[in-house]
Amino acid sequence: MAATGAYEPPKIWKWEKESGGRFASINRPVSGATHEMELPRGRHPIQLYSLATPNGVKVTVMLEELLAAGHTGAEYDAYVIRIGKGDQFGSGFVDINPNSKIPALVDHSLPKPTRVFESGAILLYLAEKFGAFIPEDPSERAECLSWLFWQMGSAPYLGGGFGHFYAYAPYKMEYPIDRYTMEVKRQLDVLDKRLAETRYVAGDTYTVADMAIWPWYGVLTTGRLYDAAEFLAANEYLNVVRWYEEIAARDAVVRGRKVNRVSGPLEDQLHERHDVSDFQLRTQDKLEVVA
């Protein structure tokens, strides 16, 4: 392959200009708050600050599944963090996630309000708190945790690697697109082979491993993520498609996908969630008619 766009790195890298591409304006090489912004607080024990990206949807699906299963202690208020506007760098959000990424939550039901960040940690925290969507049997639990952490390690190649260079970079580059497409197709093949053996990722039961993997690799097969289903020949991963469709039909998943969503059809956007009735009364199609 020809060495196009050859670049000689300087001895010491300096942040002199934006790197270009979508989201470049919010990228910085330092952490911490850029401005004062307190977080709102509602009446429920769990306060979620998020956005309906794949990482955000994992958590809203889990909370809706817990409520559907009768765990009333999982009632929550969900507030939008608009990452395109830099809300993740507000002082209140940085206090609950020093890494400035959604999702993050605070559990006020404990003697000390407890912050949890990183979607995998949140799923595990909620699964352990409610004793739900995680197997008790040690071998089955190990399988579930293995797939949960597989997702945490794999998705950065899909999002930060493939998605960035295929969809967001300021221009198309063959080398990184090839490199990450190869890896994402390998990951889809890993998942497809696993789902040829079992109904759900961790076995016969639906667990937090499915909730973590589905919004990334499941949704990828539909084209809703990076518009890349055709490029990846995602329809060939038949077991992933079968598993995607089964989970997409769950009522809690239909609800969870709407929470903190700020784009797409108005009836699918529930910016803030404070009560189950909000799904009937407060989606954007209803609010914008009133306004």
Ligand X SMILES: N[C@@H](CCC(=O)N[C@@H](CS)C(=O)NCC(=O)O)C(=O)O
- Minimum CB distance to ligand X, residue 167 (Å): 13
Among 119, 221, 260, 269, binds ligand X (CB under 6 A): 119
Residues 10-29, interacting with ligand X (CB under 6 A) = 26
Asked whether the beta carbons of 229 and 20 are under 8 A apart, the reply is no
Indicate the residue among 55 and 154 with the shorter CB distance to ligand X.
55
Indicate the residue among 105 and 188 with the shorter CB distance to ligand X.
105
Interatomic CA distance for residues 13 and 45, integer angstroms: 45
Indicate the residue among 260 and 269 with the shorter CB distance to ligand X.
260
Residues 131-160, interacting with ligand X (CB under 6 A) = none
Q: Tell me the window of 94-102, 129-137, 182-190, 216-224 that interacts with ligand X (CB under 6 A).
A: 94-102
Among 52, 61, 62, 102, binds ligand X (CB under 6 A): 102
Q: Tell me the window of 2-10, 117-125, 221-229, 268-276 that interacts with ligand X (CB under 6 A).
A: 117-125
Indicate the residue among 148 and 241 with the shorter CB distance to ligand X.
148
Among 100, 187, 283, 284, binds ligand X (CB under 6 A): 100
* 101 makes contact with ligand X (CB under 6 A): yes
Show the binding pattern over residues 31-70: x = contacts ligand X (CB under 6 A), - = does not. Answer: ----------------------x-x---------------
Size of the site for ligand X (CB under 6 A): 12
Indicate the residue among 52 and 195 with the shorter CB distance to ligand X.
52
Indicate the residue among 26 and 248 with the shorter CB distance to ligand X.
26
Among 33, 91, 118, 222, binds ligand X (CB under 6 A): 118
State the Rg of the chain over Cα: 20
Interatomic CA distance for residues 236 and 238, integer angstroms: 5
Q: Which residues bind ligand X (CB under 6 A)?
A: 26, 53, 55, 83, 88, 100-103, 118-120
